């Protein structure tokens, strides 16, 4: 309504979880960060910078890795070393706008959609730690 103060915009949130360690991962589009919450206490245990405007988030429980894709085409790879300890392993510049991620839990291949119309893709293999053609 006119004359009323507008509510602050709500951040676009991406969510993943680790059921084994009871951790919830939330990446914020505007905050450029990944917050890790302890599901038992409800408290945040870690805050990590992840780059420009996260658009996709995946967690691989086998390798205890988080993947965060930014709109700028940077893929952040984060290791869960302990339930309350996380480390940025790599920031990979993919040279195209990030659009989406899909992790195959059986092959541990990470499919990355890129480009304005998501017309490009890259595939990373967590087992060999190489980009696949």
User: pLDDT of 39-60, one tens digit each?
Assistant: 999 999 999 988 788 999 999 9
pLDDT higher than threshold 50 for residue 8? no
pLDDT higher than threshold 80 for residue 5? no
Instruction: Report the candidate in 13, 88, 19, 81 with the shortest Cα–Cα distance to residue 47.
Output: 88
**Domain 13-132, what fold?**
Methylamine Dehydrogenase; Chain H (2.130.10)
Residue tagged 């392993």 (tokens): 89
- 17 forms beta bridges with 24
How many whole angstroms separate alpha carbon 73 and alpha carbon 115?
Answer: 9
pLDDT higher than threshold 60 for residue 69? yes
Q: Which of the four pLDDT bands, split at 50, 70 and 90, describes residue 124?
A: confident
Q: Which of the four pLDDT bands, split at 50, 70 and 90, describes residue 10?
A: low
How many whole angstroms separate alpha carbon 109 and alpha carbon 40?
Answer: 31
pLDDT higher than threshold 90 for residue 82? yes
How many whole angstroms separate alpha carbon 14 and alpha carbon 77?
Answer: 15
How many whole angstroms separate alpha carbon 124 and alpha carbon 102?
Answer: 11
How many whole angstroms separate alpha carbon 62 and alpha carbon 50?
Answer: 22
pLDDT higher than threshold 80 for residue 117? no
For the purposes of burial, counting CB atoms within 10 Å of the CB of 35, is it exposed (0-12), middle (13-18) or buried (19 or more)? middle
Q: Which of the four pLDDT bands, split at 50, 70 and 90, describes residue 94?
A: confident
Predicted TM-score of the model (pTM): 0.84
| Per-domain boundaries in the chain | 13-132
């Amino acid at each position: 309504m006119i004359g009323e103060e507008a509510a602050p915009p709500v951040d676009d949130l991406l969510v993943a979880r680790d059921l084994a360690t009871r951790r919830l991962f939330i990446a914020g589009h505007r905050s450029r960060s990944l917050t890790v919450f302890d599901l038992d206490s409800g408290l945040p245990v870690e805050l990590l910078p992840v780059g420009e405007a996260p658009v996709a988030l995946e967690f691989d429980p086998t390798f205890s890795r988080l993947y965060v894709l930014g709109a700028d085409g940077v893929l952040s790879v984060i290791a869960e070393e302990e339930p309350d300890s996380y480390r940025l392993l790599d920031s990979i510049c993919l040279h195209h706008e990030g659009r989406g991620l899909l992790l195959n839990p059986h092959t541990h291949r990470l499919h990355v959609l890129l480009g304005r119309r998501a017309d490009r893709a890259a595939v990373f293999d967590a087992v060999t730690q190489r980009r696949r053609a």
